[in-house]
Structure 1
């Protein structure tokens, strides 16, 4: 890359990620009342909200990791059992599953009129647990994060060389020895990064807390920011809360960034492993329990939502409202996907160039900046930029434009997970060959870069589009209830207890997500390798 290209790759993510965050905070503080911000330091309710946010995030993270470790080890130890592939695909689905769809499924299974309560009445006992308050929030977080952590840990364990498992088989090592020598060293290497990721996701959770919180006693900082902007007209308070949230998450990331390892759910493992000597006896029972627990966590809500929704799809699709909502959702998702991929590719290109020139530490800090949007609330970004740019930007009153931009920014950290391999394939040899052939500029892009990049870019576009389709945080603040997207329509139906219509909308949303993902994967599937 030429020097100006390197500067451009560095400038784009630096300006559009930390720069936009700083601009958003500036816009909110310009509208703030100085005395009101001073009073916030002494507001008991504020610190109670912060303690609750911190406590539920820590509890959710700890339980997610503790449950995911034995599940990942069980899936590693049992490479072949009926339904394993389907279970792994279900774990990947939860990565992009809309939070409101999961909430609907959990209520349908465990709510007052849920399947479990109905079965309890039939069997003569009362089901008293309700998925609301702290219990419901933590349980919903487990639904999302246990499969995430288990899948990523399984991917890390499967990457171990086959020779390790051959040696284990030859030595006849038992379960405790395998855990000490192979499994735990790998898991320990990835736990700090995974813990920071899960903690941030739980700390910044919005749709789950808004729907299942059940009252002011179960309010998080993200919901308090939404209330300050939407109902209280207090931009300074929202900025203060966002800074508190940013500081809390930044402490976790700064502690863990040295240990963060790049993981992707799409990687391949190193061939078939030989039969392990620790598959019988107690291991068989514990593995079966862990796998059944994972199935029981994921499948019932998904199956129930799909089963309930399919019957109501024809009636829903006959209404013009659903097609208008679908059109708005697709416009937002397409714009967000393009924004996320452009930023993520620029960020990865900048990180690669820094590492090639020996600036490893600067590359690490640039990688951390790519995760900044996980810590800065999208509502703060949107409102702050709205206030700051309103006098100059002509399209500032177009809510769909802002929602697409913000959804794209929020998707960057997740898109980065599907891009690491783009710039890690042997650099020096191909570059020398390209230079000797005189391939530069467009020719290099066409014949070398694009054949390698098209597969990861297609995967990234699919992920970003699916994430944007299922997002509710930004559209809840900037969208108009009279012109809803699919997620807004789903939230309105849940608020009016129209569960059948909500299930049909959820099925429609899942179908659109799947079709968008398959479209990009098909259009940009990896090309066959070409030889020069």
Structure 2
């Protein structure tokens, strides 16, 4: 007797997926709208103050200038490095270098700054080497030089990682045809590489520009004076030291207009821009190219070696200089380090869990909704933090809830909330591919067999999402652990988190203590990822995917 297939009742199995996602999407829009409205209402002088204040004009010019230089430097380094890595898939240590490049996604900015100071600073390794050779360093790390160096350190590997994946997606038949025709390096660039990179570059340049334009920890630590003040630093100074809420709101609106306008132009030209790395292509299976032999291979190896040193030296300096101090600190524990650790975890853990919960509900609603305005809002709301910088949202909320900031723990709660929102683009990138890996036919059969609710989640979706959910949680927690901009706005210097404590140590030239704190922060981040990767491992009997989409969707940290 044939089985009776019952048609699924309309929307009965979808309400539980729709409601949380729509609620969270509405709350995100409401929160950001409230913060932006608070900014607009507190902007009393209007644009006239911008034209009348040489200081504000200088701040805006310097912010745009250093971000533009950072974009050019990062992309000019990323392009040859990416091509060298693609030309040399069998390069020894290539996988380790790719993992090191991905550290820019999770390494706290203030930690990297401490490593750069330990290598390039006045008392750094290069200064010691120059003094031993009878000379001195030809640069001063504090100022535009240090800002550009730190921005390139963070963004060049991120850009190169995206470019490597883009170049590896070039169809095999095109690469084989180019090899048979014996095309040289310049011809391969013109025929294969440039056409592949051209659609990606606008979104990648916009991402790097936004990250450098909204940079806070790097500028406030390495700026070196009023001449190297960016909009974010000026907002912080206006709120925390000058209590000039009108100026802070005006600068926040300017920053929002510039960043929002830039992203509007990018997505207007291409709505499917790739701005964050993923793992839809394997980094270790690309075949050698026609231009990877002879002298080209030698120059590629030299370039990759120099780039590896550029990335590895600050991390190595943190480890070598920080471990002795950290060993003494752990042997004789003081309240400062342990108190900062507990405060950082108290902020980061809720932020990570909330970011993952919001991400799952948004993806569930997006998959169920039909094309239209509700689906667009649910899909776009998770990526709004790329457009609305955290300092802008933090400034609006600061003005909105200012009378309540004296309540114990209220500021930390706001910091945790903002950090969870800022992690959404990354957690969405991690979970989107695995969440959509269940084929349409599989879901249709589940509907026909009346597999719904908890059973649908437990047997169909959770096996695919277990490992990427753990990775997304790791991203959410570690990104919040390394936050300095929002905590500087809402936190108290007397009760610092680890990034704030590290900034205080760098500001008072306690290089050994700063590298020790940075090393401790890196140890915690590594421990979080190791801890989350163990329960997140998929059993061997669980199939990977049916659509060619990898488990994680972004590179492993």
TM-score over 0.5 for the pair? yes
Match of 1:34, SS?
coil
What is the distance in 2 between the residues matched to 1:33 and 1:367?
A: 31
Task: Please state if 1:15 is matched with 2:30.
Answer: no
What is the distance in 2 between the residues matched to 1:362 and 1:255?
A: 23
After alignment, is 41-50 or 372-381 more displaced? 372-381
Q: Write out aligned runs for 1:250-289 (5 A).
A: 250-257=260-267, 258=270, 259-261=272-274, 263-269=276-282, 272-289=285-302
After alignment, is 63-72 or 317-326 more displaced? 317-326
1:462-494 Cα offsets, whole Å, 9 max, x none, are 111111111111111211222221112111111
C-alpha distance 217-53 of structure 1, shift in aligned 2 (>3 A) = same
Match of 1:466, SS?
helix
C-alpha distance 60-517 of structure 1, shift in aligned 2 (>3 A) = same
C-alpha distance 33-254 of structure 1, shift in aligned 2 (>3 A) = closer
What is the distance in 1 between the residues matched to 2:167 and 2:346?
A: 39
Match of 1:314, SS?
helix
The structure that is helix-richer by fraction is 1
State the TM-score, normalizing by the size of structure 1: 0.91
1:144-175 Cα offsets, whole Å, 9 max, x none, are 00000001111222234444434444443332
User: Residue 7 of structure 2 corresponds to which residue in structure 1?
Assistant: none
State the TM-score, normalizing by the size of structure 2: 0.88
What is the distance in 1 between the residues matched to 2:208 and 2:43?
A: 34
Q: 2:445 aligns with which of 409, 433, 440?
A: 433
C-alpha distance 185-371 of structure 1, shift in aligned 2 (>3 A) = same
C-alpha distance 387-48 of structure 1, shift in aligned 2 (>3 A) = closer
Match of 2:198, SS?
helix
User: Residue 376 of structure 1 corresponds to which residue in structure 2?
Assistant: 388
Deviation at 1:197, TM superposition (A): 0.9
What is the distance in 1 between the residues matched to 2:469 and 2:30?
A: 25
Q: Which has the higher contact order (CA 8 A, sep 6+)?
A: 2
User: Residue 323 of structure 1 corresponds to which residue in structure 2?
Assistant: 338
C-alpha distance 266-276 of structure 1, shift in aligned 2 (>3 A) = closer
User: Residue 177 of structure 1 corresponds to which residue in structure 2?
Assistant: 187
Deviation at 1:526, TM superposition (A): 3.1
After alignment, is 267-276 or 250-259 more displaced? 267-276
User: Residue 96 of structure 1 corresponds to which residue in structure 2?
Assistant: 106
Consecutive unaligned residues of structure 1, counting only runs of 5 or more, are: none
1:298-345 Cα offsets, whole Å, 9 max, x none, are 111111111101111121222232222211111111011012222223
- Equivalent residue pairs, number: 527
Q: 2:159 aligns with which of 142, 149, 153?
A: 149
CA contact (8 A) 1:229 1:238 kept: yes
Q: Write out aligned runs for 1:129-168 (5 A).
A: 129-168=139-178
Deviation at 1:367, TM superposition (A): 4.6
What is the distance in 2 between the residues matched to 1:344 and 1:241?
A: 30
What is the distance in 1 between the residues matched to 2:448 and 2:368?
A: 21
What is the distance in 1 between the residues matched to 2:32 and 2:177?
A: 51
User: Residue 62 of structure 2 corresponds to which residue in structure 1?
Assistant: 52
Task: Please state if 1:334 is matched with 2:349.
Answer: yes
Deviation at 1:248, TM superposition (A): 0.4
CA contact (8 A) 1:386 1:396 kept: no
CA contact (8 A) 2:39 2:250 kept: no
Task: Please state if 1:290 is matched with 2:303.
Answer: yes
C-alpha distance 362-152 of structure 1, shift in aligned 2 (>3 A) = farther
